[in-house]
């Protein structure tokens, strides 16, 4: 009986590690191998890293791919744009989420439960559906432009899609609950 339990515990502990190695570390190692391989035209678009030739064993590895990425202005602008987006959306989530979390944590229990339910309800719908709803709201004939035109604030619809502000709005909307929930437990 004890041997059986030890085997059961082994498989219980080993299975997540096996899963992690199989679906995370092995693909990550393959991506790293491809990233330091010498590029060439063909299929696959890189040379084999290890080759046996008449001269002997050779290793075809280079760091020029990384040098290219960090020297090309296109990639540098992309990295800077991504970091700016991440920093801006995190800061906005923090500025909005901190007071909300504090209010929810210090509320009476019945109000706190209601607010937590309201915070969690959006997770019950598909992420894709929630993002598509924002697209419908922000489009030229969307709710915001319709209201602004109807009350005479603008004459023509504003372009609110396909820009940095729409991306920041989508990221903040998506990740704001993930900022609020941990703070609620900290303040409680």
* pLDDT tens, position by position, 81-91: 999 999 999 99
With a cut of 70, say whether residue 4 has pLDDT above it: no
With a cut of 80, say whether residue 7 has pLDDT above it: no
CA quadruple 55, 57, 63, 65: dihedral sign: positive
- pLDDT at residue 171, rounded to an integer: 95
Rounded CA gap, 100 and 94, in Å? 10
The tokens describing 124, both together, are 């019950």
Residue 1 Cα to chain centre, angstroms: 46
With a cut of 60, say whether residue 183 has pLDDT above it: yes
Looking at the chain, the whole-number percentage of residues with pLDDT higher than 70 is: 96
* pLDDT tens, position by position, 19-78: 999 999 999 999 999 899 888 887 788 888 888 878 888 888 889 988 988 899 999 999
**Full-model pTM:** 0.74
Beta bridge partners of 51: 58
């Amino acid at each position: 009986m004890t041997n059986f339990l030890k085997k059961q515990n082994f498989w219980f502990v080993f299975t997540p590690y096996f899963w992690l190695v199989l679906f995370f570390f092995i693909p990550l190692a393959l991506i790293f191998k491809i990233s330091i391989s010498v590029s060439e035209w063909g299929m696959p678009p890189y040379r084999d890293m290890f080759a046996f030739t008449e001269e002997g064993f050779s290793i075809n590895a280079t760091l020029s791919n990384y040098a290219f990425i960090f020297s090309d202005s296109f990639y540098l602008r992309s990295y800077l744009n991504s970091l700016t987006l991440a920093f801006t959306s995190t800061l906005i989530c923090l500025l909005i989420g901190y007071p909300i979390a504090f209010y929810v944590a210090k509320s009476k229990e019945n109000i706190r439960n209601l607010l937590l339910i309201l915070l969690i309800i959006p997770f019950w719908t598909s992420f894709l559906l929630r993002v598509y709803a924002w697209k419908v709201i922000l489009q030229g004939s969307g709710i915001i432009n319709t209201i602004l035109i109807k009350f005479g604030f603008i004459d023509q619809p504003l372009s609110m899609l396909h820009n940095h502000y729409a991306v920041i709005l989508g990221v903040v909307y998506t990740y704001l609950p993930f900022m609020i929930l941990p703070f609620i437990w900290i303040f409680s």
